[in-house]
Amino acid sequence: MSRIRGALIGCGFFARNQLHAWQGIEGVEIVAICDRDETRLAETGDAFGIARRYTDAGRMFDEGGFDFVDIATTVPSHRPLVEMAARAGDGAGVHVICQKPFAENMADARAMIAAVEATGKTLMVHENFRWQSAVRAAIEALRGGAIGTPFFGRVSFRSGYDVFSGQPYLAEGARFIIEDLGIHILDISRALFGDVARITATTTRINPEIRGEDVATMLLAHEGGVTSVVDCSYATRRTPETFPETLLEIDGTGGTLRLDAGYRLTIQAAGGEEIRDVAPPVLPWAERPWHNIQESVALIQQHFVDCLRAGCAPETSGDDNLKTFALVEAAYLSAAEGRTVALAEL
């Protein structure tokens, strides 16, 4: 695939990062955009020089002329849009990259995966935190055996940053931190330590102005024998503020690995210590403190394009992300019922 054409649905807060990232990938062009808000659609089209603009996704798919669709909408629209993508081109379908959380429930997630699989096209979930360069450095060091075989890990994201001003809908849902942020942190734990057999979770709400939980602590028993703790908070007040960094502590049979605040990676093994600065670059269109997330958007979208060209499955394919999504559902079930949940139940 020498030249790849894409369309994007949803021109909201985060989509601009995706559009900037697409502009930086060689051989890729976003040829059409869609949003029900005509003002937002016009502003985005003008900002990125995209002439084809739609308020009706069905019409956009009918007119076609693109190889993939980037779905950057909220979760209730994901299943109809993914299934629409699978029906496009008289059933030939187009490739799909879909924002997380992928689905509202496990049944919808499985239905979307099946719909795209039936066309032979690629489905990737935009699960970008594991693609942050600092986190990636830790993943690669662990997979390379830097500290031997891991047996314990902590994956932590704690902040008091106001995420609601830019995304006010986050304050309105009955679910918040596990569904919006925790899904990323759980996915990092899977990327580090493998799939999960059992999960135990507790949640609480500190901020009285929101509906959902803003603190969650989860204990994961991984199939390979690792135990990990995943903790998330948007109620943590501290200086310096570490948003939006994910911090890691990992113990292995041959040493320890830490990813500390300020993108400092420390590996202690074989009687020695290696300290690396793994700070991400600030891309020309990015801004602090979001730059690590913005870089990960560019990296995961490049991965998607590389997989299309190579004809292979992405790391965060629909099938893979179903396992992360199952962790979210299991965590909520565990917190609600006060018990450990086996993933096999889902």
pLDDT at 249 over 80: yes
| Residue 96 within a domain | yes
In a domain, 317, yes or no: no
Least Cα distance to 190 among 345, 21, 326, 29 occurs for 326
Asked if pLDDT for residue 167 goes beyond 90, the answer is: no
Pairing label, strands 150-158, 247-252:
antiparallel
Q: What is the pLDDT of residue 270?
A: 87
Question: Which SS3 state, helix, strand or coil, does residue 67 take?
Answer: coil
Question: Residues 267-320: pLDDT tens digits?
Answer: 999 889 999 999 999 999 999 999 999 999 999 999 999 999 999 999 999 999
The answer to the question of residue 289 being in a domain is no
* Integer Cα distance of 307 and 315 in angstroms: 9
Same domain, 226 and 161: yes
One domain, residues 114 and 159: no
Average pLDDT over all residues of the chain: 97
| Crossing angle of the two packed helices 291-310 and 15-23, in degrees rounded to 10 | 60
Among candidate residues 182, 184, 187, the one with its CA nearest the CA of residue 201: 182
Indicate if 10 and 52 belong to the same structural domain. yes
Same domain, yes or no: 106 and 187: no
φ, ψ at 132 (rounded to 5°): -60, 135
Please, which pLDDT band fits residue 83 given cuts at 50, 70 and 90? very high
Task: Please check whether residues 99 and 182 belong to one and the same domain.
Answer: no
Q: What is the rounded average pLDDT of the residues 29-39? A: 98
Among the listed residues 125, 60, 58, 128, the one whose alpha carbon sits nearest the alpha carbon of residue 97: 125
pLDDT above 80 (res 346): yes
Per-residue pLDDT averaged across 99-127, rounded?
97
Number of domains composing the chain? 2
**Alpha-carbon gap, residue 156 to 153, rounded angstroms:** 10
pLDDT band at 166 (very low <50, low <70, confident <90, very high): confident
Answer whether residue 1 shows pLDDT above 70: no
- Look at residue 271 in the predicted model and tell me its pLDDT: 85
- Of 92, 126, 160, the domain-final residue: 126
| Spatial separation of the C-alpha atoms in residues 131 and 316, rounded to whole Å | 10
For the beta sheet containing 28-34, the strands, ordered from the edge strand earlier in sequence to the opposite edge, are: 52-54, 28-34, 4-9, 68-71, 95-99, 123-126
Give the domain-ending residue among 126, 142, 168.
Answer: 126
155 shares its domain with 276: yes
| Same domain assignment for residues 139 and 183 | yes
What is the per-residue pLDDT across 119-128, written as a single tens digit (0 to 9) for each?
A: 999 999 999 9
Q: What is the CATH number of the domain that holds 10?
A: 3.40.50.720
> What residues make up the domain containing 29?
4-126
The answer to whether residue 227 is domain-embedded is yes
Q: Does residue 207 sit in the same domain as residue 334?
A: yes
Which of 83, 106, 126 is where one domain is finished?
126
pLDDT tens-digit readout, 201-231: 999 999 999 999 999 999 999 999 999 999 9
Task: Give the chain's radius of gyration (CA, Å).
Answer: 20
Q: What is the mean pLDDT of residues 42-60?
A: 98
Same domain, 116 and 161: no
- Among 344, 300, 299, smallest CA distance to 323 is for 344
In this structure, the answer to whether residues 170 and 80 fall within a common structural domain is no
Q: What is the DSSP string of 170-209?
A: GGTSS--HIIIIIHHHHHHHHHHH--EEEEEEEEE---TT
Q: What pLDDT does 53 receive?
A: 98
- Shared domain for 162 and 221, answered yes or no, is yes
Q: Residue 302 domain-assigned?
A: no
